[in-house]
Structure 1
Amino acid sequence: MKPDLGPEHFDAFYHELHGYAPFPWQRMLAERVTTGEWPACIDLPTASGKTACIDIAVFALACQADRPIGERTAPRRIFFVVDRRIVVDEAFSRARRIARRLAGAREGVLRVVADRLRSLSAAAENEPPLIVTRMRGGIALDDGWVRDPSRPAVITSTVDQVGSRLLFRGYGRSPRVAAIDAGLVGNDALIILDEAHCAVPFWRTLAAIQEYRAARWAEEAVVSPFRAVVMSATPPEGADVAAVFPSAGERDRALEAEPLQKRIRAVKRTELALARAPRKPPKGEPGLRGDGLSDDPLVLDAADRALRAAAEGPRRIAVMVNRVATARAIWKQLLSEVRSEGNLAAADVVLMTGRMRPFDRDRIVRRWERLLAARESQQTLERPVILVTTQCLEVGADFSFDVLITECASLDALRQRFGRLDRLGVGQQTEAVILIRKGQLKGDDPIYGNALAATWNWLSEHAEVDDRGRRWIDMGIAGLEALLPADPSERRELLARLSAPAPNAPVLLPAHLDLWVQTSPRPRPDPDIARFLHGPKRGEPEVAVVLRNDLPATPERDGEDGIHPWIQAVSLLPPTTPEAFSVPLRLVRRWMMAGEGGAEGLMDVEGAPIGGDDPEPSGPRRHVVLWRGRDRSLVTSDPATVRPGDIVIVPGLDRVPEVFGDAGEDEDGRPTADIAEAAFQQARGRAVLRVHRRTLGPWQDDPCVQALLDWAEEPDRETEPGDLDEILRRLAGEPENGESRPLPTWLRTAARVLAGGCEIAPNPCGGYVLSSRTPIPVEGEIEPEQDAFADDDDLWSEAPGAISLTRHLEDVAEVARTYADRCLPERLVAPVVRAAELHDIGKVDPRFQQVLHGGNLLASLAEPEPLAKSADLPTSQRARQRAYELAGLPRGFRHEALSVQLAERFFDLPEDPAARDLVLHLIATHHGYARPFAPVVVDTDPPAIVAQVGTAAVAVEGDQRHGWPAAHHLSSGSADRFGRVIRRYGWWGAAFLEAVLRLADWTASSNAARQAQRETVQLVAAGGER
């Protein structure tokens, strides 16, 4: 029996987590949501600790853990969502701290909370009670929250990532996993939109989805809590005033804590200045001394002011602007100055934009986070730090600065920026200036519209003028509050005029959902979801861009087997999230047409419009790989083939074009374009190394690297396996002369792991690719990614050892029952379990069994019983194609289609027509196909099947099979059944039922693979053979 837990325990929970008491508003909100619904809007000032909503959501879920799912109002999955590219994810860091404390709790309220969270989950007792992850790119299939539908989870992400998954069109995701994504985001989920004034379209879309999840839109709704909450000091127009927290009557009590009052009362005296190119300072005085690298007066003025501030001693200086290009220009100007002779400000100059790859961004943040973090007593600086950034630092970063130089923006954006100046209100001496270009005084800004000029005029009207004619205003919370009208309606009207325009989303209709729910194949027309996330005049879709140097810059022809060498090379080292730039689709298309423009308009707000006209091609079109998995990728130079969310592999670049983003530097300060191995280690927990002159060239002066390259470039010589191991061991070790050598950490780590045994595959673009057989620890606490574009067969039909079909079906049924018992109404448990018992019976086809043995017919015939998994399944595209040919298995064969045919004819199914439909639908869709149409497969000569699966016997002649309607044929009933299931359980309900079965399949397969690995390790340790 679980110990009681209620609102009265929140103070103790919070104190055990953090060592201090919660703010009054946090206590009040916890009391509200542990017993009832979440408010629609949370209206609190900046720096009031709003990320504590994560603590509150976790606590509320624990309080309600013993309620039936239909009565719970506290969702199991908590999404914390922002509408811009953040470089620091304070919400993720906080959630991870909470998860760590809960996992280690041995007593007290934390232990009670942890135990109650575990009671919701199918995970083992030694597993963490709370999963924490972040979706910051579309490439990965995260191994945490996506793997187990029963686990309580906190996911930090963006509007694009969460919204696209919710609408069945996950950016950067395979259509095969769309139903899983939509099912998990659309059920048992709390979506908190942080500072979401610009995310109003998504908020309105979420409101419509809440309506479409209601029982009247499904014959048998799959009931679970689903709630969207917006956190904003400017509640969206149309928000129910009664659903805003805190209410007008609660506000004073909610904010009465002294630490909060210090932040609210902090004075932030700020100059309002028209940007001007500065004069060169006299000798011995600080300022901009060298030639201006830009003709933008705001760039020069901001750089000059930053240098003057830095000359006054070790201070934290932030320069925040509205465009990525402006930030780059200021950063370059400052770097030129601080590195020049005679410079008076020896400062560290750091560029942070949301247009960095996650790998580069994390490296920079790790270096500077502690020095810039908001603390009552900040760490002492040795010299000034000038951080040049964009909107990406408006939210998410718990940083505090002494000096703020900002470009004018809308009032809501400026309030966020000034929340980073003396963030805790500790009374430190601060300086601030708001700069504006002359052309911005009346212009219509692409993001801020007329609000930028209106904000400047309003601030100017309320500013004080000193004896030198300079205008000053207090940008503190209380200072601005005093200038706003007391009348609520006048206040709302003014804030609406001074805030960034909030576009409406199009009206979401059932017809849209009927189209989006069709994921395989996608229908035409296929409505653009970007409009429903960012509004009709924004919604600029993006793609993930990955750079690979081992691919030659000029295109090659397909190989003799019809497979392009570039695709083969990428399949040996698939792309991962940390190495991907997020780039607007329109800019990538321009770049493919030999254009370079457009980067000057980039912002760090999701969905921001891209200005300018698309240029006429100025040279040969550039070729790229569109990575959609081993079997579906293509090489193209046609920009029209690139779709929103695609993964675009760009070959042969030594530098990163500014149109893609800002590249980081390696450990020696050199810009890096291709970071595939380092990113793969971080994301997948495995070592892979391309032994190729272009990828290892920067370190070829090292004798061990040169020896490795020599080995790869002389493949005809006789080389013992031990020779490669010896080269790798020397590369991983310290130099023999005792001197350190400039080899990056990832390279030495890869060499160390690979020296213990590795797979060696020829790279069709030159050299070899070495892959580790054993995992390596993944940095931090993030579980390794899987390749979201690998078909489920790729992921789970291969295993360290053979696994019988009977055992696999039993394993999956057991996990499915566990998941269904915890996540579904009781009436739906039995159909899900029955589908699990039958989902893979189509693997008894003799040709499929032969493929599982690598195409070896004799080996498949010698197997005593049908297999579900095999260590002999070919992993390379070429070898797998050869195995299919040897077995005579038709191209595109889907074993789940045969599973449906066999289940209908040889196995017991529910008598109830709706339950029977559900069982067959779950079987048909358990690899993401047949939604609504199965792939076309021409199978003219299917063989007879005689097999025993558990206690059931299957015997059918080939002629009989040939007479059955093909799964792709309308007469099979597959598409009609899909429509009936959607109408009965709803768009997201049906998707969640599919997710429960598919995740059970993945979990059971993963558990079996890990068990086989453990047995192999034990055998090796005992002196047996691998």
Structure 2
Amino acid sequence: MASFDAFFKAATGEFPYGYQARLARDGLPAVVRAPTGTGKTGIILAWLWRRLEGPDPVGTPRRLIFALPQRSLVEQVAREAVGWLENLGLSDRVAVHVVMGGAGDSQRRWRLDMFRPAIVVGTVDSLVSKALNRGYGISRAMYPIDFALVGNGAHWVVDEIQLCPESTTTLRQLAGFTRGGGAGSWVTAEPTGLTCMSATVSVGLLDTVDNPAPAEGDVVRIEAEDRVGKLAVRLGARRRVGRLPVEPGDYRAVASEVLRRHRPGTLTLVVVNTVAAARGVHAALRAAPVPHTLLHSRFRGVERESLAVQISAVPAGAGHIVVATQVVEAGLDLDAAVLFTEAAPWPSVVQRAGRCNRRGLLDDAELWWLPPVRHLPYEEADVRATVAELTVLEGVAVTGEDLLDREVFTTEPEITVLRRADFLALFDTAPDLTGADLDVGPYVRDADDLDVQLAWVDWTPVDATGRPGPGMKAPEAKWRCRVPLGELRVFAKRAVVWRFTQAVGQWTRVTDRQPARPGEVLVVAASTGGYDPETGFDPSVRRPVPGCPSLDPIPDRVPVFDQAGGAEEAFRQDDASVAQGQWLSLEQHSVDVREHVEALVGAIGPVLPVSVLRAVAVAAYAHDAGKAHPMWQDALCALAVPGDRDRVDAGRPWAKSGGSGRLVYPDGTSDFRHELVSLLLLDGPLRGLLADVEDPDLVRYLVLAHHGKLRVQVRGPDDTDDDRLLGLKQHEVVLTSELLGQPAGTLTVDLDQFGLGGARSWTRTALGLRDRYGPFVLAYLETLVRIADWRASANLEKAS
């Protein structure tokens, strides 16, 4: 077993600080309180060592969810984690997934390889939405999988919690729901945990309804014995405070002072409170002889990544000026000799100050401040309190701990607390009859506006409205820009903005009646403007956006790996379960999936009863039985090349085709769902598969839910006929041949359980399972079956 010191040194080239070593030795606590610049990101290595090398790998969750404030740049943390893994030779064993960014195979691996360790890095709004079964920016069918993976076997680390109080409160509530295992608590299938990190928030503020404030022993702080070497230098770093002699909002004067006080060969950092102010200062520096960079949260991923690399790659001794917004308060490791900042709430000022003389190497670092023109986006009382405190500090050289110790008024935010009933209601992922969804915004809202992801693209319209074709998909994350809902509404008054509506299988326009929702991926024509690669999102820009991608048509054959990455087929399509490269029998695929789910269970070792795991294996075996329906088989066999048609017809039933193309059902039905037939077969000719199962309803549910389309509710987008449902007709009779070891029989379609009211109700059955097993475990069982299906379909090696 490698020591943590050696492990950390191999990853970073440095030895760990004392408190980092304590995290590795004792486990990740409820709270880490450490000033900015003291290596809190090293908690990733503490977790990784405990999982791979430490004293309690089984008790250490296999996934680390690293959540940064909404306005932060997450790519830097992800790059650091990737570099550490490369240095340790662990890139093949541990996946790094970047939510709302990143690229590469690792994006898929954290789901597909759910049995292996993974580091998931993202913004709190995106990650907490996953924890609420409403993941921003992913398809509805993917909600339960991500919900299961961040709620079971995951240790959450939330950095700079003072910047995301709503999300932090929600996560603490969720932790409270699984705490203690007593009455009213829900169990998880694998160990879970939560660590809150901050330099500026007291532990008492973490008290929530279902999760009391952490005890003193659950808090790790920088202690006296830690104050040695480089850490002691950093903690002793001083900056002399001064009021900038310019009028608020006079960005030309600010730029002039920045140039006058900039020190050749060093970094000068300017932090203002709004994107407009940052653009104003940056514009005034346009002719400056010193290299300068604008950085805020309203850039596309491709430019944001480039800017972050550009800033971090500035060689020592090279002068540079960075003009930024709050994005520098977390997630960026900057070390400025001179800092200029607008007054903001005290915790924000402390964070900004931590980017000045961060390494403690200067004796004459400077912190210059000025009041903002307006208090927004902050509370006016908070800004006033900071102005008063900074005035008192005029001419004083202060350390970060000096600033932390000062008691400065800060408004306590009004937070919407997640209650148990609200959380349970989120388990059902079906939209309402209008296609709308439950709004989780109040539980993750860490700013006045939540964001959407907007991409500028080119496409060939399919009709006079300019609509993209239904076979076109939004570009990858690097081409998307985060845009506040309020600013999008303004932009949409002159620009046509499109969303892909899965319920109808086509692109529809964002309107006042159908407004954008947080986390949605939207597209707009590049010719519309609204974005500049140097300044970011700007509705006033009218010129076309250069260098934009095209909307790529979805290929006729949808690879399984695309499905695993989140690009599942629209509601009406069943093709992601078709293409295999060669014809594969239904019997063989059923056996393969059962073996894969048994391998996953063996590799993971979830804390679940044997009877439950038996039900999962049976569900994996029976999940695709509905593909034996003649309608599905006729559509699949029609994909065979002419010379192979006789052999294919003779080999029925098949699970996967060796050809390509989309299923076209003989009677013109477009919304046939084979998983519904699988459920009905278990109620009829295949009921013998349930003979040795303790809870047959659990098997029935897992079979129905294995594509994430049909779960608590069963309805189609256009079902208005009480006698028809998803391509099936009430009381129709289907003859079945010998299947999955069960004799031939007759299926008589019975849809009564899916109607409203009555003694039998599928929704009542599903909700009963949710309450019996708990939402975390039931979603986890769904995920086991679905991941096993993906792995078998991709012909991957079995988990070990």
Shorter-chain TM-score range? 0.7 to 0.9
Is 1:323 equivalent to 2:246 in the alignment? no
Q: Which residue of 1 aligns with 2:720?
A: none
Aligned-pair CA distance for 1:896: 0.4
Q: Which residue of 1 aligns with 2:10?
A: 16
Letter in 2 for 1:994: E
Aligned-pair CA distance for 1:634: 3.5
Is 1:947 equivalent to 2:731 in the alignment? no
Q: Report % sequence identity.
A: 24
Partner deviation per Cα, 1:813-832 (whole Å, 9 max, x = no partner): 11111222314225232111
> What is the alpha-carbon distance in structure 2 between the residues aligned to residue 203 and residue 523 of structure 1?
32
C-alpha change, 1:660 and 1:939, in structure 2 (3 Å) is farther
The within-5 A match list for 1:683-832 is 785-788=565-568, 790=570, 793-821=574-602, 822-824=604-606, 825-827=608-610, 828-832=612-616
Aligned-pair CA distance for 1:940: 3.4
Letter in 1 for 2:377: P
Aligned-pair CA distance for 1:660: 13
Is 1:28 equivalent to 2:22 in the alignment? yes
**TM-score relative to the length of structure 1:** 0.68
Letter in 2 for 1:58: L
On the 8 A contact 1:663/1:672 being kept in 2, the answer is no
Q: Which residue of 2 aligns with 1:453?
A: 384
2:499 aligned to which of 626, 641, 646: 626
Is 1:96 equivalent to 2:82 in the alignment? yes
Aligned-pair CA distance for 1:144: 2.0
Is 1:232 equivalent to 2:198 in the alignment? yes
C-alpha change, 1:840 and 1:913, in structure 2 (3 Å) is closer
SS at match of 1:128: coil
C-alpha change, 1:593 and 1:325, in structure 2 (3 Å) is same
Letter in 2 for 1:534: R
On the 8 A contact 2:131/2:151 being kept in 1, the answer is yes
On the 8 A contact 1:78/1:155 being kept in 2, the answer is yes
Is 1:158 equivalent to 2:60 in the alignment? no
The within-5 A match list for 1:282-361 is 296-297=249-250, 299-309=251-261, 313-335=264-286, 337-338=287-288, 346-361=289-304
Q: Which residue of 2 aligns with 1:980?
A: 768
Partner deviation per Cα, 1:382-404 (whole Å, 9 max, x = no partner): xx322211111121112222322
On the 8 A contact 1:843/1:849 being kept in 2, the answer is yes
Partner deviation per Cα, 1:541-589 (whole Å, 9 max, x = no partner): 322212223356xx9348xxxxx85233xx3453321111222223323
Aligned-pair CA distance for 1:926: 0.8
Number of aligned residues: 764
Is 1:197 equivalent to 2:162 in the alignment? yes
Q: Which residue of 1 aligns with 2:722?
A: none
RMSD: 3.7
Q: Which residue of 2 aligns with 1:45?
A: 35
Q: Which residue of 2 aligns with 1:588?
A: 488
Aligned-pair CA distance for 1:965: 4.2
> What is the alpha-carbon distance in structure 1 between the residues aligned to residue 558 and residue 757 of structure 2?
45
Aligned-pair CA distance for 1:233: 1.4
Aligned-pair CA distance for 1:658: 7.7
C-alpha change, 1:93 and 1:996, in structure 2 (3 Å) is same
C-alpha change, 1:572 and 1:425, in structure 2 (3 Å) is same
C-alpha change, 1:478 and 1:169, in structure 2 (3 Å) is closer
Aligned-pair CA distance for 1:1002: 1.3
Q: Which residue of 2 aligns with 1:379?
A: 316
Q: Which runs of 5+ in 1 are unaligned?
A: 105-126, 278-295, 339-345, 372-377, 464-471, 485-490, 559-563, 595-621, 665-669, 681-687, 689-760, 762-768, 1012-1026
Q: Which residue of 2 aligns with 1:874?
A: 661
Aligned-pair CA distance for 1:928: 1.1
Letter in 1 for 2:458: N
C-alpha change, 1:918 and 1:857, in structure 2 (3 Å) is farther
> What is the alpha-carbon distance in structure 2 between the residues aligned to residue 521 and residue 478 of structure 1?
49
On the 8 A contact 1:89/1:397 being kept in 2, the answer is no
Aligned-pair CA distance for 1:796: 3.5
Q: Which residue of 1 aligns with 2:209?
A: none
On the 8 A contact 1:847/1:889 being kept in 2, the answer is no
Point out the more displaced range, 353-362 or 409-418: 409-418
Aligned-pair CA distance for 1:979: 1.0
Aligned-pair CA distance for 1:946: 3.7
On the 8 A contact 2:69/2:330 being kept in 1, the answer is no
C-alpha change, 1:246 and 1:981, in structure 2 (3 Å) is closer
Partner deviation per Cα, 1:336-363 (whole Å, 9 max, x = no partner): x23xxxxxxx222211111111112112
Partner deviation per Cα, 1:980-1019 (whole Å, 9 max, x = no partner): 11011111221111111111111221226x99xxxxxxxx
On the 8 A contact 1:270/1:474 being kept in 2, the answer is yes
> What is the alpha-carbon distance in structure 2 between the residues aligned to residue 401 and residue 14 of structure 1?
27
On the 8 A contact 1:547/1:674 being kept in 2, the answer is no
Aligned-pair CA distance for 1:271: 1.8
Is 1:260 equivalent to 2:231 in the alignment? yes
Partner deviation per Cα, 1:428-470 (whole Å, 9 max, x = no partner): 7534311224x55xxx54325422221121121232xxxxxxx
Aligned-pair CA distance for 1:641: 1.2
> What is the alpha-carbon distance in structure 1 between the residues aligned to residue 700 and residue 32 of structure 2?
44
Aligned-pair CA distance for 1:917: 1.4
Aligned-pair CA distance for 1:851: 2.0
SS at match of 1:221: coil
Bigger CA radius of gyration: 1
> What is the alpha-carbon distance in structure 2 between the residues aligned to residue 103 and residue 539 of structure 1?
43
Letter in 1 for 2:316: Q
Is 1:533 equivalent to 2:433 in the alignment? no
2:521 aligned to which of 643, 647, 663: 647
On the 8 A contact 1:897/1:924 being kept in 2, the answer is yes
C-alpha change, 1:460 and 1:655, in structure 2 (3 Å) is same
> What is the alpha-carbon distance in structure 2 between the residues aligned to residue 380 and residue 139 of structure 1?
32
The within-5 A match list for 1:991-1002 is 991-1002=779-790
Partner deviation per Cα, 1:941-979 (whole Å, 9 max, x = no partner): 8573443445334442xxx53456475676664212211
On the 8 A contact 1:138/1:172 being kept in 2, the answer is no
> What is the alpha-carbon distance in structure 2 between the residues aligned to residue 88 and residue 221 of structure 1?
31
SS at match of 2:130: helix
**TM-score relative to the length of structure 2:** 0.86
Letter in 2 for 1:452: V
Q: Which residue of 2 aligns with 1:410?
A: 345
1:922 aligned to which of 679, 693, 702: 702
